[in-house]
Amino acid sequence: MEKRVQLYEGKAKKVYATDEKGLYIVSYKDDATAFNGLKKGTITGKGAINNRVSNHLMGLLEKEGLPTHLVEELNDRETVVKAVQIVPLEVIVRNIAAGSLAKRLGLEEGWKLPSTVLEFCYKRDDLGDPLVNDYHIRALGLASDEDLAQISAYSLKINAILGSYLLPLGIELVDFKLEFGKTQEGNLILADEISPDTCRFWDTKTKEKLDKDRFRRDLGGVEDAYKEILFRLMGGL
């Protein structure tokens, strides 16, 4: 497979066209951003860790019947994925009050929510990815009712699968962000990534943060936290 022109560069990844129809190559970067790009930095080795962690978790979901964009891991930073048209929604799945939810609703961080909460954000960097509900999504034509129902069902299933998998590894799945896309055949599948960049992972005993919150909040030990997640999932690089 030949990597061709760069199609897109985001905060954490670059996407390239290939010589094979319907396939892209995603390349993970060490760049780190927070607060909609207002805070910027570098987390050494992050790209390689996120690539492997995301592929590992997506492979797990595939085995459980959840369709993803994953095709093949090429090397430590690059992966072949199915080309998709991204649905312009971010889905935030919340199990424990943390981050913006705790601040917005006046909840104590660490409070276990009685039921899982799904939130939707309109993917618009220039607007700060604002929260939207079903009515906004329908009015703006961001997703059909059928697709939104499927996205919600997939998100809850992903939460159940990952939560059950991570708990015996001493990792609490606090919350996480998902993105979905449509393939050229019109099928809805999971895209983007599942990594310490997009998930809040806490140690089940100490509640130590093992994710990008260490970068957001200047807690230090950012690289070690990412390495710890990789180690618990796969035994290291």
d(CA 49, CA 103): 30
Q: 34 or 52: whose pLDDT is higher?
A: 52
For the chain, the domains span 3-82, 86-221
The CATH number that domain 3-82 falls under is 3.30.200.20
Rounded to an integer, the average pLDDT of 92-119 is: 98
Whole-number pLDDT of residue 52:
97
Range 61-74 average pLDDT: 98
Confidence check: pLDDT of 76 > 80? yes
Architecture in CATH for domain 86-221: 2-Layer Sandwich (3.30)
Partners of 24 in beta bridges? 17, 81
pTM of the prediction?
A: 0.95
